[in-house]
């Protein structure tokens, strides 16, 4: 029986509660689902693998879960450690051989950044694998990833866009879920550390663009800097992703500004005005005041 350090169970319970909360709100994992988690070998995906296994064992409904890693040059030692770790928690696990490294080298010029192409190839393989297995694809993005993506899009592309908890691919073949969007990076990092997970270092992540690129690292540092003075900043940013006020923005695709009218601009202004004035007559106001 594995003995975990002090505080592990409390932390695990808190993270599981957040995952459960997100699932109840957005219906990520559904009865009868087959879930495939893309495991890069990084702290986030290794931690989520254990958490999803525990959720599967405790959930009030049945669903199946397995983890897969795309091999883009893992050492034999890394493969062995990953298999041992997954076996420790009875996680169905598979390492898929790929030629991603060779493909990227053949299509990307030597002096160009290969991460974007590598990420697309990885995501495509995971999508195909999940589709062939009739499974839902899960990725281990956490709340900090979502907030950093939001700020990157605002600052560098001029659009308000982040990561949804549930996404259907453009071709409708895949449903993708992100169970950890209510979880902070520091929480999953501490959890994975306490697990003693064999974190793989190097370039082996399905979301390879999330490695310390200039823009993303700048957003992370910005959030950390603000949070050092205002501790709830990160949590408020995560909350803002589900608390959008379209009428207070400027997007004409979601709010029809062209037809907005005050009541006195309506087709029957006299009727509206009379009803409004009647509702706020001095008699009514006086009565309400006395009752108050």
Render pLDDT for 135-145 as a digit per residue (tens, 0 to 9): 999 999 999 99
Residue 114's pLDDT band, with cuts at 50, 70 and 90, is confident
CA-based nearest residue to 64, from 34, 31, 37: 34
Residue with tokens 């907030």: 147
Region class of 281: left (phi > 0), else alpha (psi between -120 and 50), else beta: beta
Kind of pairing between the strands at 166-168 and 175-177 = antiparallel
Q: What is the pTM for the complete model shown?
A: 0.84
Domain boundaries along the sequence of the chain? 8-248, 261-291
Dihedral sign (CA 26, 127, 44, 13): positive
Rounded CA-CA distance 128/132 in Å is 6
CATH of domain 8-248: 3.40.50.620
262, with CB counted inside 10 A (0-12, 13-18, 19+), is exposed
pLDDT at 292: 42
CA-based nearest residue to 85, from 204, 202, 211, 192: 192
Render pLDDT for 78-99 as a digit per residue (tens, 0 to 9): 999 999 999 999 999 999 999 8
């Amino acid at each position: 029986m594995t003995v975990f350090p002090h505080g592990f169970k409390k932390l695990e319970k808190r993270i599981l509660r957040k995952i459960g909360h997100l699932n109840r709100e957005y219906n990520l994992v559904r009865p009868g689902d087959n879930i495939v988690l893309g495991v890069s070998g990084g702290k986030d995906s290794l931690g989520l693998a254990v958490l999803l296994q525990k959720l599967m064992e405790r959930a009030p409904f049945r669903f199946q879960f397995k983890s897969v890693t795309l091999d883009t040059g893992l050492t034999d030692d890394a493969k062995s450690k990953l298999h041992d770790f997954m076996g420790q928690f009875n996680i169905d696990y598979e390492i898929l051989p790929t030629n991603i490294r060779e493909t990227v080298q053949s299509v990307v010029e030597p002096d160009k950044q290969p991460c974007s192409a590598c990420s697309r190839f990885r995501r495509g393989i995971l999508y195909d694998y999940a589709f062939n297995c009739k499974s839902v694809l899960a990725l281990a993005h956490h709340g900090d990833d979502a907030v950093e993506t939001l700020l990157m899009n605002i600052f560098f592309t001029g659009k308000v866009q982040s990561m949804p908890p549930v996404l259907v691919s453009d071709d409708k073949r895949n449903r993708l879920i992100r169970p950890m969007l209510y979880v902070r990076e520091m929480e999953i990092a501490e959890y994975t550390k306490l697990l003693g997970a064999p974190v793989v270092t190097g370039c082996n992540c399905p979301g390879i663009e999330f490695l310390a690129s200039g823009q993303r690292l700048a957003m992370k540092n910005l959030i950390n800097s603000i949070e050092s003075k205002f501790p709830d900043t990160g949590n408020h940013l995560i909350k803002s992703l589900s608390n959008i006020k379209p009428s207070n923005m400027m997007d004409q695709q979601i709010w029809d500004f062209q037809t907005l009218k005050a009541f006195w601009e309506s087709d029957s202004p006299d009727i509206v005005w009379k009803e409004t004035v009647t509702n706020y007559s001095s008699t009514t106001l006086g009565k309400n005041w006395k009752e108050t």
